Amino acid sequence: MILAVWFKKNLKQALLNQVYTDKAKVNGVNVNDPLIKEKIYKQYLQAYKKGVFNYIKEEVDQNTKQIVPRKYFSGGLTAVDPAMLQSVTVDEAMSSFREDMPGENKYFIVSGLTQGASGQIDNASISQPPSENLKVASTVTNQDFKELVEMRQAGLAGIHKNVDPRPVIPASETAVFNWQSTPTIEKDRLVEEQNKMFGQGEIAALDMVGGEATRFGGPKTFVKVSDDLGDFMGIKIANQRFIDNHFGKSVPRYAMTSEKRLPEFLAGLEQRGYYGLGTDRIQPFVQGTVDTFILTDDEIEASFKDPKEIAQYKAYAANQRQQNPDGIYRFKGEERKVPAGHLDAIASFVISGQMTDALKRGIKFISVENIDNLQAILKPDGMIAKFDGMGVDFGFILAEKNLTFKITDSTGKVLVDKLIVRFRDNVISFDGIHEFSGQAEKDGLRFVINGAAKTIDVFDANGQKIETKNEIKTETGGTLVQPVDEDDNPVGEPIMKEGFELPKNFDHVNAPFFNTNSIIIRLEGLLRILGISQEDLNKMNWDERSSLVREKLVKVVKPNFELKYHEVDGEYPDLGIVRNGKTRIPVAQLTRIMLQSAHLPGAKVGYIFAPRAEVFAPVKEPEDLKVAAENNAQTLKAYTNYTRSTPATTSTVPTERSTRRATIDKATLANPGGIDLNSRNLNMESIGQKVNITFDPAMIVQFKRGDFSGVRIQILDVVPVNLMPLLGLK
């Protein structure tokens, strides 16, 4: 429009203006059949109103040499005669809009470009608009917390009460769908089905970015994993751009954070320009936090083995209880609140209104992902389509546990202190970084996986087998188990149990199915479990959603407690256990784990068991960054495939896929992204001149009367060019 107005004003003598402009002429489209004229005119109107193409393409920025997503749209817009425009300032226009905006929609996202000091285009200040979504979606009310305190005081709840008394055994192979053994032809069919789901905007991701993450000195969200991969959040966003580009459908990325970490999260997104994705594409919501507790003596005895350590912690706990008789943990008077567990990702998703948002957008499946699982990204692999075909409400992606062997010979000499093995994956490793298939050599010895015996055979340089003794430690996270009666006969369906819910003598070696905490949620199924229709959920306010969630989700699952350490500066007299200048303080914290969603009444649950390297690459400790950086042949392959978006073809001839992707999409147009130029965040005078924005008064009235949530003006790029040669002028 800018160029069109300039053209009309400044090139009145040009041939096109002399012959056509403002002459109401259509000469040049002379055909005898009036129906053809009408068809051409209708096609023109359709192109003008709906657009010819609308897609995102990643290109290399010539200045930064980085890959930058650029959105291209061709179509029309409603314009008015510039003579009718009334000059008003940005503040005046914003104020006028805000006064008459309906309901809570009193904010604007206006996109554009600002000139940076370096002469390049820089992002303007970005700010998250005020939103009900950013209220704290607490799943523990004051009354709920009072009941928890009373349960602990009565000895009915605590770390020592986590173990489920019902007998269980490892679940059988038939309890899971084995992805690795699925025929290629079936996988191809599922991939095709899932690609259709991506193309229709039916799949979105929910990243769990909250939590304390004190081991990294703060939240992991913006910690750099490696030079190749970038930071944790950047990996997720790169994956989102891959989905956008390859399937031509833009959906938001939901992100759960905690009240304590929200300012850091929003500031981190702002500093990174929302990774170029746009403020409206990252939808944060806030889970609640809850007080932590001083450990009871029963909990200490259940958590530690060393008598000296038990006595030390009991003395410390007694001192703390004397200072804090309510049993709530305070360190030097400071509250020690933490999020209430990963199940809050589902509960807070509903309370915050984000589930309502997702359903309105036509999203059918939510992929819940840990921010620190590098393999928890959206992939066109067919797994979500498989869960859809299984008809489940919650689909759990399982991997094989790591078993850590300490091997000694008959004399007690340690042959290897840490040998990591996965029998079904047939993987062996000495450092968790370099993995070998079936066998590996170290210090002149050969270590061979014996899958039948679930052990490791060791051979010397002459090939002679050495008599050894194995000490095995296993990962004890979420495990698929089968409830049994007193005679070990199966009772009911297999269920997921967290490690602290299982007895200490549970056979983890023969229970390989390990929860990766990546869960696919069918929103229609979640509505059924909540006992509500989408229409009724749309009508609910915040308080009504909170009551619904606590009644149907939170109160249904068992309140477990988990031993955690809080790190505080300096040495504390009763403990004196210092790590990197910090003392590790033991606390008991409420945790409602994600896998408890499988226990909700009426829930339909399914499990897919996949090779660990394809679905699970956790970074829990700073040391794990080395694994991510060095052993990412598999990881980098995945991200090259699923986060480094390259066009399907370099040909300039449109392909069937590119044509489909270019089809205009109303949802995309409604949320094109951009840079927030809210007047309170942007000082236009900082670029050396005052700027007035002109609005048509009639358009302002139209906006006031309409149900608009904001105004967005999108400028993709402004490039000075010499138009004279193009117009045949000197």
Which CATH number covers residue 262? 3.90.550.10
Which residue among 474, 492, 517 closes a domain?
A: 474
Nearest Cα neighbor of 157 from 323, 324, 298, 9 is 298
**344 and 201 share one domain:** yes
Domain count, the chain: 2
**444 and 576 share one domain:** no
**459 and 396 share one domain:** no
Confidence of residue 475 (pLDDT cuts 50, 70, 90): confident
Residue 620 lies in a domain: yes
Structure confidence by residue, pLDDT tens digits, 517-563? 999 999 999 999 999 999 999 999 999 999 999 999 999 998 899 99
Rounded to whole angstroms, the Cα distance separating 233 from 254 reads 12
Which residue among 626, 642, 658 closes a domain?
A: 642
**387 and 505 share one domain:** yes
**175 and 255 share one domain:** yes
**167 and 218 share one domain:** yes
Name 177's bridge partners.
608
How much is the pLDDT for 577?
62
Residue 225 lies in a domain: yes
Cα distances from 628 to residues 207, 227, 666, in angstroms, run 19, 10, 39
Region 647-667: what's the mean pLDDT?
A: 32
Structure confidence by residue, pLDDT tens digits, 404-446? 999 999 999 999 999 999 998 899 999 877 788 999 999 999 9
Structure confidence by residue, pLDDT tens digits, 567-598? 777 766 667 666 667 788 889 999 999 999 98
DSSP-derived pairing of the beta strands 605-609 and 168-170? unpaired
Read out DSSP for 55-109? EEEEEE-TTT-SEEEEEEEE-------GGGPEEE-HHHHHHHHHHH--TT-----
How much is the pLDDT for 710?
54
Nearest Cα neighbor of 301 from 432, 436, 159, 398 is 159
Diameter over CA atoms, the chain: 103
Cα distances from 101 to residues 110, 128, 502, 714, in angstroms, run 16, 18, 55, 21
> What's the pTM?
0.69
CA angle 645, 646, 649 (to 5 degrees): 145
Residue 203 lies in a domain: yes
**538 and 426 share one domain:** no
3-state secondary structure of 252: coil
**238 and 192 share one domain:** yes
Residue 348 lies in a domain: yes
Tokens found for residue 710: 């904001």
Name 437's bridge partners.
427
Alpha helix positions (H), 83-231: 90-100, 142-153, 184-199
**451 and 556 share one domain:** no
**241 and 368 share one domain:** yes
Residue 106, Cβ neighbours under 10 Å: how many?
A: 16
Residue 696 lies in a domain: no
Residue 198 lies in a domain: yes
Tokens found for residue 73: 């749209």
Alpha helix positions (H), 542-620: 542-552, 612-615
Name the range with the highest mean pLDDT among 327-341, 354-368, 433-447: 354-368
Confidence of residue 480 (pLDDT cuts 50, 70, 90): very high
**422 and 539 share one domain:** no
Residue 617 lies in a domain: yes
**142 and 281 share one domain:** yes
Which residue among 601, 617, 642 closes a domain?
A: 642
Rounded to whole angstroms, the Cα distance separating 21 from 41 reads 18
Structural domain of 579: 133-306+338-400+501-642
Contact 204, 360 (CB under 8 A): no
Contact 618, 608 (CB under 8 A): no
